[in-house]
């Protein structure tokens, strides 16, 4: 709910929050339900591009390792590169979605 409110207050909400649940199989073979909330942010200057945040509602079990291991060995996201004719024009929008207000101007655009 906090991200949705932040997006709405910042003028970047791209619609209502989406809440959903789905069955999931746990690493030990047991079954559970995963429930989530997604909040969407958009900028009319880039109508085909949306950012979103995801909140897990029900907690993961204490043994999270098996759920956080990806088959390709990935352990996280190091960087996301977005391109625009005027990257600085989108700094506030991307910063809002990333919950980061610090913007560093570089020779290639901006780092957030």
What are 39-88's pLDDT values in tens digits? 999 999 998 989 999 998 887 666 655 566 777 888 888 888 888 888 88
Q: Taking the model in full, what pTM does it have?
A: 0.74
What are 83-109's pLDDT values in tens digits? 888 888 888 888 888 888 788 888 888
The secondary element (H helix, E strand) that includes residue 92 is helix 91-97
**Token output for 81:** 């590169």
Measured CA to CA, the distance from residue 75 to residue 31 in angstroms comes to 24
Q: Are 66 and 56 in contact (CB under 8 A)?
A: no
CA-based nearest residue to 49, from 9, 97, 108: 97
């Amino acid at each position: 709910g906090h991200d949705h409110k932040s997006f709405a207050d910042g003028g970047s909400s791209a619609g209502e929050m989406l809440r959903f649940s789905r069955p999931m199989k746990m690493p030990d073979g047991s079954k559970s339900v995963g429930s989530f909330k997604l909040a969407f942010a958009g900028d009319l200057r880039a109508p085909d591009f949306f950012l979103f945040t995801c909140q897990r509602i029900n907690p993961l079990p204490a043994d999270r390792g098996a759920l956080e291991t990806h088959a390709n060995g990935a352990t996280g996201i190091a960087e996301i590169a977005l391109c625009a004719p005027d990257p600085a024009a989108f700094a506030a929008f991307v910063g809002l979605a990333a919950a980061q207000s610090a913007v560093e101007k570089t020779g290639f655009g901006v780092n957030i």
